[in-house]
Structure formats: structure tokens, C-alpha cells
């Protein structure tokens, strides 16, 4: 029983870390700063999710040995821990969906910008230096 308690505590701890990571990911997506760190944040998130999956598999295996299953109604401390985990997981899933929607909006805006530039009547709107290309008017006049 102690081992199951330890696993649930570790899962709660990892979910708290995941909350921080998802919050950081959301701030990067919203404020568009430190975008270069987004890859690292996603890697950290994935590592935590792998650890959580392993812990959950251990929880299930130990539960089978002890003939206990979630929501652990017969054991109040375990039931309380499990309720906290379920609530946290639900909130984190929503936060992750929100981050996905923000990311999708960014991608859509980028695609629209690229499409606008590509559909422009002028083939080269910007020079290599990033300045807008201006049309030059010939100074040669026709003589009549």
C-alpha cells in the first residue's frame, strides 16, 4: 500500500511540473517571445508525459497485486490522492488543448501572410535587405 501511495505522490508531483511547463508554453505562444525555446519546452513536456505513463503502468500493476483499483473508494487517503490526480489531469488536458488552438491560430496567420505575399501582383515585394522594393520611373523623355 505504501508503494502505491508513493506512486500517486510522484504522479501528483509530475503533474505540478507539467502545469508549469504548459503555462510557460502558453506564455511563449501568446506573447511570442522566446519562440526559440519552444522546442525545449515541448521536449520537457514529452519527457514528463513518458514518466507519467510509466508511473501509471506501475500503479495499475501494484493495484492488481493489492486488488485495488481507481478510484480507490475503500481507502480514503488513496481516493483523495486519486481525485486530485484526476482533477489535475482534466485541467492539464484543457490547457494543452488551449495551447494547441493558440498554435493553430499562429500557423493560420502565418499561412495567410505567406499567401498574401505570394498572391501579390508584384513578384518581389521585398528585397534581400528586407526593404520594400519601389518602382523606378525612367527619367528619359520622349522627344516629339
- Which distant-in-sequence residues (6+ apart) come within 8 Å of 90 by Cβ? none
- Give domain status of residue 131, yes or no: no
- Give domain status of residue 128, yes or no: no
Residue 95 C-beta-side C-alpha neighbours within 13 Å = 19
- Give domain status of residue 93, yes or no: yes
- Give domain status of residue 110, yes or no: yes
- Give domain status of residue 90, yes or no: yes
Look at residues 54, 75, 73, 71 and name the one whose alpha carbon lies nearest to residue 11. 54
Q: What is the pLDDT of residues 18-28, one digit of tens each?
A: 999 999 999 99
Share of the chain above pLDDT 70, in %: 83
- Give domain status of residue 129, yes or no: no
| CA 78 to chain centroid | 30
Q: What is the pLDDT of residues 55-86, one digit of tens each?
A: 999 999 999 999 999 999 999 999 999 999 99
Q: Please tell me the total count of domains within the chain.
A: 1
- Give domain status of residue 64, yes or no: yes
For residue 35, the model assigns a pLDDT of: 83
Q: Taking a C-beta distance cutoff of 8 angstroms, is the pair 62, 7 a contact?
A: yes
- Give domain status of residue 49, yes or no: yes
Domain extent for 57:
2-119
Overall pTM > 0.85: no
Q: Taking a C-beta distance cutoff of 8 angstroms, is the pair 18, 47 a contact?
A: no
For residue 117, the model assigns a pLDDT of: 79
- Does the pLDDT at position 114 exceed 90? no
Amino acid at each position: 500500500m505504501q508503494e502505491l501511495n508513493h506512486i500517486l505522490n510522484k504522479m501528483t508531483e509530475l503533474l505540478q511540473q507539467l502545469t508549469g511547463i504548459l503555462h510557460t508554453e502558453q506564455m511563449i505562444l501568446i506573447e511570442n517571445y522566446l519562440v526559440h525555446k519552444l522546442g525545449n519546452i515541448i521536449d520537457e513536456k514529452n519527457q514528463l508525459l513518458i514518466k507519467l505513463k510509466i508511473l501509471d503502468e506501475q500503479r495499475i500493476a501494484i493495484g492488481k497485486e493489492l486488488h485495488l483499483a481507481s478510484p480507490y473508494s475503500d481507502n480514503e487517503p488513496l481516493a483523495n490522492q486519486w481525485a486530485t490526480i484526476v482533477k489535475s489531469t482534466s485541467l492539464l488536458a484543457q490547457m494543452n488543448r488551449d495551447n494547441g488552438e493558440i498554435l493553430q491560430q499562429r500557423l493560420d496567420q502565418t499561412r495567410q501572410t505567406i499567401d498574401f505575399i505570394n498572391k501579390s501582383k508584384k513578384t518581389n515585394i521585398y528585397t534581400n535587405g528586407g526593404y520594400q522594393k519601389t518602382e523606378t520611373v525612367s527619367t528619359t523623355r520622349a522627344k516629339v
